[in-house]
Amino acid sequence: MIDRESFQKKILSIDSDASFNALALELFREQSAHNLVYKEYLSLIGKRVSDVSHYTAIPCLPVSFFKTQRVISVSTAELETAQQTIVFKSSGTTQQERSTHWVYDALWYEKITLEGFYRFFGEISDYVIIAYLPSYYENKESSLLYMINHFIAASRNPLSGYYDFASWELEEVLKKSRAEGKKVWIIGVTYALLDWAESNKKITLDDSAVILETGGMKGRRKELVRSELHERLKKGLGVAKIYSEYGMCEMLSQAYCFEKEEFEPVPWLRFGLRELNDPFGSLQIGSGVIQVFDLANMDSCCFLETQDIGQRDSGGKLKILGRLDNSDIRGCNLLYQN
């Protein structure tokens, strides 16, 4: 088993492409030896560890393997006896196979998500955390719900919690938050945020408020391209910015979108692309299938190929364009065209 404490410190200390690359290669060597699913995948595609000298050349495991295999880099015995193990499952219907992510250490997930929050938004104690995620409540193994529950607890503010955007109670919470000098961090399913923006005329927010949408109308309303959606939300809620998050149950890290529809990753996460018609053809910039190099996944697999299509610029930021044909519709922040 790897020295987890040492790797965690290195992950949180990443401050450059060079330090990311060095740690990614180190984790690649570890996971290619100890993650049996990934090891077999590398063997089947004929990729040797010695062939790889940069993280962009590391083969990415398709996330579909999480539906049928236990993708772990610790032994089964270690996983089953660990005290902080948690299982995340993707959203989906009963007719769909759901991805399952075995997380060896839930405390590490809590630490890494809170550190990501800090890097983008500052101290969580400065905020009241408000959430309305009805489409996720039935999935008790949702990684998003776990993260939000942790954020609510970490804010240490009794006003933080889950609220219905249509409820009068939320208006009182917003007033009390302002009276306490607290900023609000609001995350909601997209259709609920849009309903709130269009129907509630008593909203009083300022530009210190963070409004974050999870993406997709879940069949409740007509899908919108993100630029149009954000304009409607900004106008209805009276704020200058709308934020988005990119994440999935197979990843422990998040990326956030602030403007220009581009997602910016935390320092220990990088995006890559492979060509649409070539499973082993990588792209530095342009449009293709999104790959993620998520070093927080030190106990499962850091190198994953998603089922999303994206566009990446020279600065590493990502714009999500949609889904691969025949892939499941699930997760956060998928961008649909009209």
Minimum mean pLDDT range among 76-90, 91-105, 208-222, 230-244: 208-222
The SS3 assignment for 75 reads: coil
Angle, alpha carbons 86-5-129 (nearest 5°): 50
pLDDT higher than threshold 60 for residue 180: yes
Over residues 89-114, the pLDDT tens digits come to 997 655 568 999 999 999 999 999 99
Q: DSSP secondary-structure letter at 330?
A: -
CA atoms of 180 and 47, how far apart (whole Å):
57
CA atoms of 254 and 30, how far apart (whole Å):
23
The two structure tokens encoding residue 120:
């983008």
What is the residue whose two structure tokens read 């089922």?
Answer: 307
47, 64, 78 from 56: Cα distances, Å:
14, 21, 30
What is the residue whose two structure tokens read 């996944």?
Answer: 297
CA atoms of 242 and 240, how far apart (whole Å):
7
Alpha-carbon Rg for the chain, nearest whole angstrom, is 20
The two structure tokens encoding residue 290:
């999104």
For residues 303 and 250, the answer to whether their CB atoms sit within 8 Å is no
Which candidate, 188, 192, 307, places its Cα nearest to that of 249? 307
Give the range with max mean pLDDT: 46-55, 164-173, 320-329: 46-55
Angle, alpha carbons 257-259-262 (nearest 5°): 50
Give the range with max mean pLDDT: 164-168, 186-190, 211-215, 280-284: 186-190
pLDDT higher than threshold 50 for residue 335: no
- pLDDT of amino acid 292: 95
Which candidate, 100, 162, 111, places its Cα nearest to that of 132? 162
The amino acid sitting at 47 is: K
Sign of CA dihedral 164, 333, 317, 87: positive
pLDDT higher than threshold 70 for residue 11: yes
Minimum mean pLDDT range among 15-29, 73-87, 93-107: 93-107
At 207, the pLDDT band (50, 70, 90 cuts) reads confident
pLDDT more than 90, % of the chain: 57
pLDDT higher than threshold 90 for residue 328: no
CA atoms of 155 and 317, how far apart (whole Å):
29
Sign of CA dihedral 76, 78, 81, 85: negative
DSSP count for the chain of H helices, then E strands? 9, 15
For residues 176 and 204, the answer to whether their CB atoms sit within 8 Å is no
CA atoms of 183 and 205, how far apart (whole Å):
10
Ordered structural domains, the chain, with CATH: 109-246 (3.40.50)
pLDDT higher than threshold 80 for residue 163: yes
Mean pLDDT for the chain overall: 87
- Whole-model pTM: value is 0.90
For residues 11 and 111, the answer to whether their CB atoms sit within 8 Å is no
- pLDDT of amino acid 93: 54
Distance of CA 217 to the CA centre of its chain: 18
What is the residue whose two structure tokens read 């890494």?
Answer: 112
- pLDDT of amino acid 331: 42
